[in-house]
Structure 1
Amino acid sequence: MGVSVFTFLMSLIWCNVFILLGVLCRRTLALKHGVNLILAMIAAGIVRLLVPIELPTVIVVRSEEIMPFFQRFFSAQAFEMHEHSVNWLDIILAIWIVGSVMHLSLIAWTLFQQSLKIRRMRTEDHPRVSKLAEELGRDFKMTSKCRVVVSPDVKTPMLVGYFSPIILLPPLALTDDDMRYVLLHEWNHFIHRHLWIKLLFSTFCALLWWNPLVYMAESDLDYLLEVSCDRASVRSLNTEERIKYVEATSNVMKQLVTLVTRSTLFVGFITAAPDRIVQRCELILFPPKKISKTIKILTIASLIFLIILSYAFVFQTLYRPPEDDSPKVTDVSIVPEHSYLKEKADGSFLLYINGEPRDSLSREDINYPPFSDLPIHK
């Protein structure tokens, strides 16, 4: 069990495969059956990227063109700095790491700014809202205490707080039933850890900032989480109560004066365009048929099979030793203990074994075993 450049490339390929599956299914499958399967596909991609190992039973598929091309490109010298050769792989990794650090820093800064805004937020005293939140907590036997803050600085009902939930509300003129549905919706965001899911996706996008697929997967995340939250909120409601839930959504929309700014770090009651709000209401009033257990089992089994398959084989470079009429390189053991390479003025290398020059090698030859393991003397 080990890690190499080839296993890392395979992990990147399979990570994109799982993300692509989630992207292709995110609208049809998620809207009808929830986001859990989509999240499972994305999670499989993340795990595959973070665990780029090569199992002892792996099948090695030798590549004669594609892998050698990548190997030559990554190992090619871009420039020399302080007598140290810098290849293209070093440059790509440096750009990748710097970009990821910048994106992660931006996420941390946004969270800090959000925390400051909440602390400085103007608040209004609404005993009725606090009482409804306490009643909701008792009715649903909530284990965590939820704090409700009403402020004119809030543009839409939203949930913040990763460990201690805070429901932020604008000063809305709602009936008790409407306010209860709004609070229930936001609380379900906390129960289902939607804030953590969004933070995970933001982190994933920061780590793979150069990959357009992760942004495609994240593009509908707000909407899919809202649909998922609606499903959880109305699961135990009858038809009449579902209609009231939709009316509460409509009443909140009417009172929102400004458009809602999309954020990656909170989840809110209204975070979509009007046409999507209409679709949310249709899914609440006319929920699709539940997916059968057989389909669920088959889907999960297929996903597990793909994960196992991703570790079953790996592409590696097919190495053929250079043809040479002289037997002096191939008839001895070439190991770093008594062998080394010495660079010549013309850019080629001279192989020394036991202190004696044995053969001349090109720069391309030394990229392959056993010469790639030998030290180079200037």
Structure 2
Amino acid sequence: MIITAFSFIMSIFWFNIFIIIITLLRKYTMVILNFNITLLLFFILVCFLRLFCFFELPYTMVLPSKYVFTNTIDFFTFSFLQVPWFNIPISLLNIFLAIWIIGIVFFLFNYVILSMNINKCVCNCEGTNNPVILACITEVMNLSGKHGKVKIIQNEHINTPLITGYFNPAIYLPDIPFSEKELKHILSHEWTHFLNKDSWIKLITCLISSVFWWNPFVHILSESLNHILEVRCDIRVTSNMSNIQRTEYLETLLKVAKNNLNLGSTRDFTRIAGISALISTTNTNKIYQRFYIVLNKKYKKNFNIVTVSFCVLTLFLVLSSYMFVLQPSYEPTQASYTEPELYDITPENAYLKLNHNNSYDLYADGKYRAVVEDISIEPFLSLPIK
């Protein structure tokens, strides 16, 4: 396996192609209904693996580019300035790399500050003592078979229910009246996010977005992944519900969505890594898709032969992406071309030297020239052996 700058470029190229495919598949509701939501998550996993496995395999072919790629590389690597005293060449590539590193530091630092503020807020805010809410979360945990320490906070500045935390989660509820059934739906949704480890998935996505902040496709993937996780959560919460219960669940989502629209979006807050909100978008198409999937009982809960075939096809597509790598091709210049050195082989100016493997080193004019295997022919037959 070989790692080069060009294999890294090809990795980013295919990463973007896979993001486009994921985004298109996510928009088609029938794909989710017929192929299982796990298929899209599998595609995203493969997408990330293709990004970080930027190497060339033994069967990788090099496709030379004599014009477009070559001229592009020359344009970005051309040194138009030299730093005095240090003799460091400055090119557009150097400038872009410096901006890239500065951007990574900025976005990671921003993430750390936001996370510290969230943790501080969780520590400073008192958990609710509402017996109805506490009874609902206890019932939700009992139904899930998983228990843990959960802090529930009601806050007037929160527009939509959300959960944050990797080990000891905190659930935020907007300070609006909810019935007992609505609370159970909301808490079931948020608790399922925690059980699905969605906060960890979003953390990894946030780190990747911070590193490749300049790539718009990464942010598109982040938006798509956030929606896919919400759909998966809806499916798991409502999997054993009757039609009436599903309708009540969607009425709860609708109530939260209306409150979100009336008070303003919490998008900036929910974009923080590790936070999952019940309604994190004002995109009506995404909300409609969630409603349609919950109401449709034709959703494939288990893998079928078509889904497995699609996964195999995806893996084949990934392996096929390693078949070639684009590299610049340069013609040799006159300055790099040297005339071959001519020399005579005679007993007066040449001799042979025996090696351990019974071959011979040829020396002419006092210089090593080549290895000779057969000395039974001229001009080697008449040369002296030393």
The answer to whether the superposition gives a TM-score over 0.5 is yes
> Distance in 1 between the 2:173 and 2:335 partners?
79
User: What aligned pairs does 1:297-376 form with structure 2 within 5 A after superposition?
Assistant: 297-323=308-334, 327-328=338-339, 330-331=340-341
Distance 1:2 1:122, change over 3 A: same
The residue aligned with 2:102 is 98
2:274 aligned with 1:270, yes or no? no
Relative contact order, higher structure (CA 8 A, sep 6+): 2
The residue aligned with 2:263 is 258
2:211 aligned with 1:207, yes or no? yes
The residue aligned with 2:296 is 286
Give, in angstroms, the shift of residue 31 of structure 1. 5.1
Distance 1:239 1:84, change over 3 A: same
Q: Which amino acid is 2:231 matched to?
A: V
2:235 aligned with 1:228, yes or no? no
Distance 1:308 1:220, change over 3 A: closer
The residue aligned with 1:131 is 135
Give, in angstroms, the shift of residue 284 of structure 1. 1.7
When structure 1 is superposed on structure 2, of 64-73 and 184-193 the one drifting more is: 64-73
Give, in angstroms, the shift of residue 305 of structure 1. 1.0
The aligned length equals 331
Asked which structure has the greater CA Rg, the reply is: 2
Distance 1:271 1:34, change over 3 A: farther
Distance 1:308 1:322, change over 3 A: same
The residue aligned with 1:40 is 42
2:7 aligned with 1:7, yes or no? yes
Give, in angstroms, the shift of residue 308 of structure 1. 0.9
Q: Which amino acid is 2:106 matched to?
A: M
SS of residue paired to 2:63: strand
Q: Percent identity?
A: 27
What TM-score comes out, normalization by structure 1 length? 0.78
SS of residue paired to 1:314: strand
Give, in angstroms, the shift of residue 233 of structure 1. 0.6
The residue aligned with 2:252 is 248
RMSD: 2.8
Give, in angstroms, the shift of residue 48 of structure 1. 2.1
The residue aligned with 1:376 is none
What TM-score comes out, normalization by structure 2 length? 0.76
SS of residue paired to 2:327: strand
1:109-142 Cα deviation digits (max 9, x unpaired) = 1111222222233544112211221222122211
The residue aligned with 1:78 is 80
Runs (5+) with no aligned partner, structure 1: 333-378
Contact map agreement 1:17 1:45 (CA 8 A) in 2:
no
Contact map agreement 2:23 2:224 (CA 8 A) in 1:
no
Give, in angstroms, the shift of residue 324 of structure 1. 7.2
Runs (5+) with no aligned partner, structure 2: 343-386
Contact map agreement 1:146 1:165 (CA 8 A) in 2:
yes
